[in-house]
Amino acid sequence: MAIMLLAITLFLALAAMFILATQFSDLKERASIIAADNAQLLISKIANSPEFSCGDSYGSEMSSCIDADKVINLKKDISQYGNGGFWGVDGIQIRTIYPQNTGIECTALNYPNCDIITIVKGNGTGISSFVSLCGKISVNEIAYNKCNLAEIIITYSGSLT
């Protein structure tokens, strides 16, 4: 009888250890996945905020679309947004991916012949997401919509979990 009790206790202990091990083995991995998802959601929130998003300025309503004309003007007035503190980030930068990036920083004078719009310079952890960067370009005095593939990079200090 004593051996039976011992055996049952041993079995239950093993079963409990097995359940605990399977439940908590990937805890760190899950935490990092949640942090990455939160970061992606924060980027989506910023890209789709009224200060950035295209809305229906380029035909139909588009998601993950940043209005370059808005952003160039936002760059001048970013201090009114607490230099990014309004969105809870330290830095915001938009870089053209395609057509190929030549590394020219955008100003009100050289826009749209440029590739990088640094709204706020930031240090810390950087995360990025694909967006389309749309603006109006003039060809023979006719305005056309032009969208490039770009990435929005936000930097933040601390954790987003």
Partner 1 sequence: MQSGRDNNHVFGEFDIMNKKGQEEMVGFALIVIIVSVIILVFLGFFLSSKNNESTKTLEAENFVLSSLQYSTECTDYYGYISLKNLIFLCNSQTDCVSGQDSCEVLNSTLQGILNQSWKVGGGSSIKGYELNISSNTGWILDMEKGNLTGNSEGTLQPFSDGTGASVNIVFNVYH
Task: Note the residues at the interface with partner 1 (CB under 8 A).
Answer: 3-4, 7-8, 10-11, 14-15, 18, 21-22, 25, 37, 40-41, 44, 62-65, 97-101, 129-132, 134, 144-150
Contacts for 55 with CB less than 8 Å, ≥ 6 apart: 61, 67
Residue 132 Cβ, how far from partner 1 at the closest point, in Å? Answer: 4
Q: Is the preceding omega at residue 50 within 30 degrees of 0, hence cis? A: no
Helix (H) or strand (E) holding 131: strand 125-139
Cα–Cα distance between 115 and 47 in angstroms, integer? Answer: 17
| 8 Å CB contact between 53 and 67 | yes
Helical H runs in the chain?
A: 2-24, 27-47, 68-76
Residue 40 Cβ, how far from partner 1 at the closest point, in Å? Answer: 4
Residue 146 Cβ, how far from partner 1 at the closest point, in Å? Answer: 5
Residue 152 Cβ, how far from partner 1 at the closest point, in Å? Answer: 10
Nearer CB in complex with partner 1: 83/132: 132
* Residue 143 main-chain phi, psi, to 5 deg: -85, 130
Nearer CB in complex with partner 1: 109/142: 142
Residue 4 Cβ, how far from partner 1 at the closest point, in Å? Answer: 6
Nearer CB in complex with partner 1: 80/100: 100
The radius of gyration of the chain's CA atoms, rounded to the nearest angstrom, is 24
Nearer CB in complex with partner 1: 59/77: 59
Nearer CB in complex with partner 1: 21/109: 21
| 8 Å CB contact between 119 and 49 | no
